[in-house]
Structure 1
Amino acid sequence: MTTPAVGVVVATRNRADTLATTLEHLAALPERPPVLVVDNGSTDHTRAMIAECFPGVDLLVHPVNRGALARNDGVRALTTPYIAFSDDDSWWREGALSRAARLLDAHPRLGLVTAQVRVGPEERPDPLNAVLAASPVGRAPDLPGPEVFGFLACAAVVRRSAFLDAGGFHPLIFFGGEETLLAYDLTARGWGVSYCAEVVAHHNPAPAPRPGRNAVMRRNELIGHWLRRPLPLAFRSTARLLAEAACDPEARLALRGLLARLPAALRQRRPLPPWVEEAVRRVSAS
């Protein structure tokens, strides 16, 4: 039997019913990828559901919620050369993982493929697709698509060795916008991150965002500034947040989270190489 080139890591917490839909779609793929579910301390019937309905799915159980770090644990546990991520509300179109593997085989510097995303039962194009396709960084001759600094984790296929080389998702981010920092770190290590529209993922998110998500995203953006971007930018963005916190409860929440993590961010600070910073600025200005 041919060993699959792509394994799938699914991080989940307390969403057994939507996870079951994801696993049904993954089980139907002709590629038959190995699937590992990393359970982030669920208290619902997630583990029982997997054991009863999907005995071929491997399960890694954490007693607590490790956020995006659960994906890091999954990548270390799987041994396939390429790893696709799914969330408990997303899955891959038939043939997508084989296409991603061919792209990674053909482009040795390619560290991450970010896919076209189709949303909901209507398969609406996610607005991020057009943004990534028009990346101002352009396309390097040894990569299959535009170079980007953003993606959705549930629509990413990584080269396992590149992911581990870059350190995976950063522990200070925990969850929410963690993809940008990984794209920075992959690029800084010389790996390419490309948008490839011929690879397609489906995303069926809940209609309403989780409470506090905007504050978490703002907090994490600024953590990324302190970790990787020039200090003047980090100071300016933090000063803006501080001014907004006087009258905006979400800004105050973001600021509290940032200040709690700022000492660790300064200890772990590793600015981007100049050529990566210049490319990031082009993206930010677009």
Structure 2
Amino acid sequence: MAETQYSFSILITTKNRLTDLAFTLNKIKYFLTEDSVECVVFDDGSTDGTYEYVKENFPKVKLHRNAISKGYIFCRNKMLNETKTDYAISLDDDAHFVTEKPLETIQKYFEENANCGLVALRIFWGLEEPVTVLTRENPNQVQGFVGCAHVWRMKAWRDIPHYPEWFVFYGEESFASYQLFKKNWEVHYLPEVLVNHRVNVKSRRNNSDYGIRLRRSLRSGWYLYFLFYPIILIPKKMGYSIWIQLKLKVFKGDFIALKAIILAIFDLVWAIPKIIRDSNRLSSQEYEAYHKIPNTKIYWQPEN
């Protein structure tokens, strides 16, 4: 029997978040009845019964598993590198489509925009879906995309280096955005397709992993400076980044942030050999052109 030819792959990485994953899979299960869509779940070393649950309740889902966690970026790279469809939707285990029949809209947009290598979707961050889903925004080119919900034209993915696993978490999307720009691929924001990312952003400050998240966020931003920015700009960018963290957090008594800053600096020094190996620096002209592109659309809020 010939292998099924899919047009779309929905790729989900998860670890010990069975409740979130189950909610998401139930929200998107109608895709699994379509011959043109495959869904792949990568269980990165869960110990909460994720693998068994998916295998029993969603037999059409293609399931991968790491017995021992190898990291979020490892899983994303493996799934994308093994994808044979034209388009791959990267979806977090705590995100789902609000827009009905989004795939037709996405495919049509790619077909009408040959230079678009990646589509960034409109994302509402909140535990519940927004009361209104209407927007007056129009599609446009943007600098980058958010990891929780975006769509790759697989031809573009295969044209750039894969995500840097040494980033661990945070920053890999910006890494890919710079690489796409260097290869003359564009990232486009498509507000017609809305995704609900079921996260309470305000509560993250009080989470036990606040310091770890801040450390990883800071160092990934600094990695990107050294990988892609013209060298003459790096000292000013670094100095400003550290000053803002001190001004807005440390000087107001946030000593968890101070620890995160110090550790992120050590991480940056430790990563110098990898930075030298993987750098793909923008020229001054490329830097100026890139920063004339509208900023990444991260959060969407209803207008009313």
When the two structures are superposed, what TM-score results if normalisation uses the length of structure 2?
Answer: 0.79
Q: Check if 1:119 corresponds to 2:162.
A: no
- Cα 1:285–1:94 change in 2 (3 A) is closer
Matches within 5 A, 1:234-249: 234-239=234-239, 244=246, 248-249=258-259
- Counterpart residue identity of residue 168, structure 1: H
Distance in 2 (CA, whole Å) between partners of 1:88 and 1:285 is 25
Q: CA deviation at 1:26?
A: 1.5
Contact 2:140/2:188 (8 A) holds in 1: yes
> What does the per-residue CA deviation read over 1:144-182, in whole Å, with 9 as the maximum and x for residues that have no partner?
932212221222111011012112322332211321121
SS in 2 for 1:278: helix
Partner residue of 2:17?
Answer: 15
Give the drift of 1:11.
1.1
Tell me the secondary structure at the aligned position of residue 7 of structure 1: strand
Taking structure 1 as reference, are residues 195 and 124 closer, same or farther at Cα in structure 2, changes over 3 Å only? farther
8 A Cα contact 2:24 2:95, kept in partner: yes
Could you say which residue in structure 1 is the equivalent of 2:301?
Answer: none
User: 1:172, 1:223 within 8 Å by CA — same for their partners in 2?
Assistant: no
Which of 72, 75, 82 aligns to 2:80? It is: 75
Q: CA deviation at 1:206?
A: 4.9
Partner of 1:140: none
Q: Which residue of 2 aligns with 1:36?
A: 40
Of residues 47-56 and 35-44 in structure 1, the stretch that sits farther from structure 2 once superposed is 35-44
Q: Does 1:213 align with 2:202?
A: no
Indicate if the aligned counterparts of 2:141 and 2:294 stay in contact, CA closer than 8 A: no
Query: Is 1:266 equivalent to 2:276 in the alignment?
Result: yes
Q: In the TM superposition, what is the alpha-carbon distance from 1:284 to its structure 2 partner?
A: 9.1
Alignment-derived partner of residue 163 in structure 1: 157
- Most deviating of 41-50 and 25-34: 25-34
Q: Secondary structure at 1:9's aligned position in 2?
A: strand
In the alignment, is residue 51 of structure 1 matched against residue 55 of structure 2? Answer: yes
Measure how far apart 1:249 and its partner are.
1.6
Tell me the secondary structure at the aligned position of residue 34 of structure 1. strand
2:121 touches 2:191 (CA, 8 Å); kept in 1? Answer: yes
CA distance in 1, matches of 2:30, 2:144: 29
Q: How well do the aligned residues superpose, as a CA RMSD in angstroms?
A: 2.9
CA distance in 2, matches of 1:159, 1:152: 15
Point out where structure 1 has 5 or more consecutive residues left out of the alignment. 134-143
Maintained 8 Å contact 1:119/1:125? no
Per the alignment, residue 256 of structure 1 pairs with 266
Between 262-271 and 16-25, the greater mean CA deviation after superposition: 262-271
Worse-matched range after superposition: 202-211 or 218-227: 202-211
SS in 2 for 1:197: strand
Q: Which of 21, 24, 43 pairs up with 2:26?
A: 24
Change over 3 Å in CA distance of 1:239–1:267 after alignment to 2: farther
Question: 2:90 corresponds to which residue?
Answer: 85
Residue type of the alignment partner of 1:24: N
> Deviations along 1:92-133, whole A, 9 cap, x unmatched?
23211221111112222210010111233142799xx99xx6
Q: Give per-residue Cα distances to partners, 1:240-263, cap 9 Å, x unaligned.
A: 567759972221122122222122
Q: CA deviation at 1:87?
A: 0.5
SS of aligned partner of 1:51: helix
CA contact (8 A) 1:35 1:58 kept: yes
Q: Deviations over 1:214-264 (max 9, x none)?
A: 221111000011111111322333445677599722211221222221221
Amino acid paired to 1:75: L
Q: Assess if the C-alpha contact under 8 Å between 1:184 and 1:276 holds in 2.
A: no
Equivalent-residue separation in structure 2 for 1:231 and 1:17 (angstroms): 46
Residues 113 and 196 of structure 1 are in contact (CA less than 8 Å); yes or no, is this contact kept in structure 2? yes
In 1, the alpha carbon distance for the partners of 2:48 and 2:269 equals 33
Identity %: 25
Q: 2:290 aligns with which of 249, 267, 280?
A: 280
Q: Is the alpha carbon distance of 1:85 and 1:124 closer, same or farther for their aligned partners in structure 2, counting shifts above 3 Å?
A: farther
Give secondary structure in 2 for the equivalent of 1:37: strand
Aligned residues: 272
